[in-house]
Amino acid sequence: MVTMSNSDFRDRNRPLGSRPSGATPDDEVPVHGTRRSSLAMVPIAIFMCLAQTSFAAARYGSSDPQFLWFMFSTLAAIPSGLLLLARDRHPEAVFWGSCALVIAFPFDSMLALMAMTSLLARRSSRAVTVRAIAAGGAIALIAQLRDALNPPDASLWHVFFAKPHTGGNTGTPIVMMVGETPIIITAAIAALISTAIAALVGLHLRSKAIAASAEAKADAATNQAHTLQANLNNQQLADAIAAEAHDTLAHSLSLLALNASALQAESDKLRTMAQSGEHSIHVHADSIAQQAQQIRRQAAGALDEAHTIIDMLRHPEQAYVQLAPSEDTALTRESLNALITDARQAGMRVDTWIDIQQLSELDENLGKIAYRTIQEGLTNARRHAPDAPVALQIDALPRVGVHIHISNPLTAGEHARPDRTGNGLTGIAARIHSAGGTCAYGADEQGVFHIDARLPWIRNGAEQQPNVAGLA
């Protein structure tokens, strides 16, 4: 019988350079014998070989020439058991060598069956499995029948079926309780059962090692996926912060620049009037004061926005909360009126057509994207055509979605530049596309620049894929 515990083997990741000879990457199973299992297997194999040899030699005297052969076999039993120590690197060679030793010497089949278990645990090839089980079964059958066919006083199997207190050193001839046939049949059945147990142990250890290896690979793949997802989320967050910085700061700074230009113009008028002695200087002085107040307010707003962006960079874990839609960036009449009023106070001429309905049902993220689109359109017009009138059309209806159209004539210098659009419109278009909408922009043949954006109508609470870019 072969008995082995699961502690006989444990998993090990081998470097490619240490792959055992005769193994392919597909056939090799990452199994490694422990020191504790070796301390159990080697002595047991040696003991069984010595026991079988000693019983077989019992019928020969010291003067018999065959006795010398059994003495040599006894000496060979010790290094034969040590052969199992090489089962990790050369499992096939150890198995076939053990089979040859059991056939050549009067050894027990335990040595070959242990080697078979080791081989089955370390090789997953079907051909190797079939050959090993067939050869191991044949060797076990030969070894056990060889012992059962020996004379009663030279057979281990006969000892099991002998009457108590007979044979051996009792001085009484050995008396059998059964005939030779039951002994032979029992030996054959035991050989087959021990082969089956050894094979099942080896296959179990193999499947356990393969499952552990697959689990390790799955864990590694999961960890890699988590790392990639974290990197993707970080990149998306960085893009969202960058878009937020562009949308807010660019809008505020463009208003600031426009008001600064108006202030300079008023200052020039005031200087001219002072030189000519006109008495309406105080009117222009009030206008300058109002412009200065407007610049101060816008500069303070731009500073607050810059602090917000810096705070998001310092605390990225809170950035998602800060990037979430708010009342200031929602597509409402109040936010739109504030946006258009700021533009008009800065000197822009904005003609509007606004038809919005049931905005409370519109998804907040879509509302923010629409708001940022309008904001970027006005900012783009101020930057490239500060004195041109701007036409703004907004339609937000459940049956048609959200439609935004912004147009303004270009100056001669801007019309001649085909690459006048910057990253702002590109980023807005990307966010609109990510939300399932469309965005087109460019100048027509009459030199009028158009921005046309369409977004689907998605109700609040509707299931949709999260999109970090949409937060910006």
What does the pLDDT look like over 321-338, one tens digit per residue?
A: 555 566 777 788 888 888
Is 450 a member of any domain?
yes
Of residues 308 and 219, more confidence is placed in 219
| Pick from 4-8, 88-92, 190-194, 196-200: least confident | 4-8
Residue 428 has a pLDDT of 86
**Segment holding 120, helix H or strand E:** helix 110-122
Whether 72 and 199 map to the same domain: the answer is yes
Q: How far is CA 468 from CA 311, 319, 424, 427, 434, in A?
A: 18, 11, 17, 13, 10
Whether 69 and 212 map to the same domain: the answer is yes
- Residue 175 DSSP label: -
Structure tokens at 335: 């936010």
Is 108 a member of any domain?
yes
The SS3 call for residue 378 is helix
Cα–chain-centroid distance for residue 338? 46
Is 446 a member of any domain?
yes
Tracing tokens 């009449």 back to the chain, one arrives at 333
**Segment holding 294, helix H or strand E:** helix 281-314
Q: Residue 79: pLDDT above 70?
A: yes
pLDDT band at 400 (very low <50, low <70, confident <90, very high): confident
Among candidate residues 161, 192, 226, the one where a domain is terminated: 226
Whether 198 and 341 map to the same domain: the answer is no
The SS3 call for residue 402 is strand
pLDDT band at 197 (very low <50, low <70, confident <90, very high): very high
Of residues 6 and 80, more confidence is placed in 80
Q: Taking a C-beta distance cutoff of 8 angstroms, is the pair 107, 70 a contact? A: no
Of residues 389 and 22, more confidence is placed in 389
Q: Residue 445: pLDDT above 80?
A: yes
Among candidate residues 177, 199, 226, the one where a domain is terminated: 226
Residue 363: give its domain's CATH number.
3.30.565.10
- 352-371, pLDDT tens digit by residue? 998 888 877 888 888 888 98
Q: The domain containing residue 74 runs over which residues?
A: 6-226
CA dihedral 375, 377, 382, 385 (to 10 degrees): -170
Of residues 225 and 243, more confidence is placed in 225
Q: What's the total number of domains in the chain?
A: 2
Is 275 a member of any domain?
no
Q: What is the b/e burial string over 79-103, where b = at least 16 CB atoms within 10 angstroms of the residue's CB? A: ebbebbeebbbbbbbbbbbbbebbe
Among candidate residues 226, 255, 270, the one where a domain is terminated: 226
Mean pLDDT, the chain, rounded, equals: 77
Is 316 a member of any domain?
no
SS (H, E, C) 55-114: HHHHHCCCCCHHHHHHHHHHHHHHHHHHHHHHCCCCHHHHHHHHHHHHHHCCCCCHHHHH
Residue 316 has a pLDDT of 62
Residues 6+ apart with CB under 8 A from 280: 273
| Pick from 15-19, 257-261, 382-386: least confident | 15-19
Question: Comparing C-alpha atoms, which of 416, 430, 12 is closest to residue 205?
Answer: 12
Average pLDDT value for residue range 50-65: 79
Tracing tokens 């009067």 back to the chain, one arrives at 106
Whether 336 and 209 map to the same domain: the answer is no
| Beta strand 390-397 pairing with 438-443 | unpaired
Q: How far is residue 282's CA from residue 104's CA, in Å, rounded to a whole number?
A: 124
Of residues 20 and 385, more confidence is placed in 385
Query: How many helices and strands in the chain, by DSSP H and E?
Result: 13, 7
Residues 6+ apart with CB under 8 A from 272: none
Average pLDDT value for residue range 218-231: 77
Q: Residue 262: pLDDT above 70?
A: no
Whether 219 and 333 map to the same domain: the answer is no
Is 235 a member of any domain?
no
Is 317 a member of any domain?
no
Of residues 322 and 187, more confidence is placed in 187
Average pLDDT value for residue range 191-214: 91
Is 27 a member of any domain?
yes
Structure tokens at 94: 């150890």
